[in-house]
Amino acid sequence: MREAITIKNLSYTYSEDTRALESVNMTVHEGERIAIVGPNGAGKTTLLLHLNGILHGTDGQVEVFGKSVDKVKREEIIKDIGLVFQDPDDQLFMPTIFDDLAFGPINLGLKEDEVRERVEKALLTLGLSGYENRCPHHLSYGEKKKASLAAVMSMEPRILVLDEPTANLDPRSRAELIEIIKGLNEREGITIVTATHDVNAVPTLADRVYVLNKRIIAEGTSQKIFSDVELLKENNLEVPEVFKLFEVLQCFGYNCEELPLSVDDAIEHLTRTVETEGGHIHLHIHKHTHDQVRKLKDKYEHH
């Protein structure tokens, strides 16, 4: 597959000599979904700001579809890569939603008809049709999140970069946004890069996971990353709640070599187990159950 983003030995130091990134190397292929996880202060947002040229590394290089971000005009970068900030108020600044969504396409020099077409498509995709004349600052937080994503989608980027997309959302808004992001990848083939603390969303949003703590600590599937207890402890990371539940079930005799990470995975595994076990799931308490439960609780006590 073609490389959408290539990061080579990227380092960044703030003016007060604070090292934010250290020799980061990362490759994201076209159409792939990547999650970046790490503790507070790990450099996740700093890394994202390098992808569209807002920040420039002290050392190293960032390439988007083979072009160095440092060597191309900004208007060329934003045609390929769209960044959605964590706080939607940082992205929405015009009097109406229509104006916010039209701002980028207008600055690309597009004709009025095409600008309107892009705005309508973005509104439809994000479920915001009819919001054209609404004031962004009168929207709910969840609506603002969708509007800020729509403003980026009106630019029709090939790569979508999301900084904490589910932060501070209620459960319904969170679920809606996750489904929208999945759909952008599945239906339109948009490459997705997500930096997040929401480990419960990672298995749904990503094919591969990078653990960042100023440098790349680890890379692999969600299953590989979340099964590495020492890695998680050292980087102050959680595991999905579904994963924990099936660890508890294992203590009570449930046979599960690869622990589910999402609700969909859990349903699939439980259904398969019931079908092969005569319509039942067998749990029991044996002589080691309480010791195993105690060890499991100790395992997560740092959280």
User: Two tokens at 33?
Assistant: 């979904």
Bridge-based pairing of strands 191-195 and 33-37 is parallel
CA-based angle 74:136:46, to the nearest 5? 40
Q: What is the predicted pLDDT for the residue at 18? A: 84
Q: What is the DSSP string of 154-205?
A: TT--SEEEEESTTTT--HHHHHHHHHHHHHHHHHH--EEEEE-S-TTTHHHH
| CA dist., res. 303 & res. 292, Å (int) | 18
Q: What is the predicted pLDDT for the residue at 302? A: 52
**Tokens 């979508």 sit on residue:** 160
Q: What is the predicted pLDDT for the residue at 303? A: 46
CA-based angle 27:145:49, to the nearest 5? 35
Query: What are the sequence ranges of the domains in the chain?
Result: 3-234, 241-299
DSSP state of 88: G
**Class for domain 3-234, per CATH?**
alpha beta
Mean pLDDT by 10 residues, the chain (303 residues): 95 86 97 96 95 92 94 86 96 96 94 97 96 95 97 96 96 95 96 96 96 97 92 91 92 89 92 86 87 85 56
Residues 6+ apart with CB under 8 A from 171: none
Q: What is the predicted pLDDT for the residue at 45? A: 96
Q: What is the predicted pLDDT for the residue at 9? A: 97
| CA dist., res. 25 & res. 62, Å (int) | 9
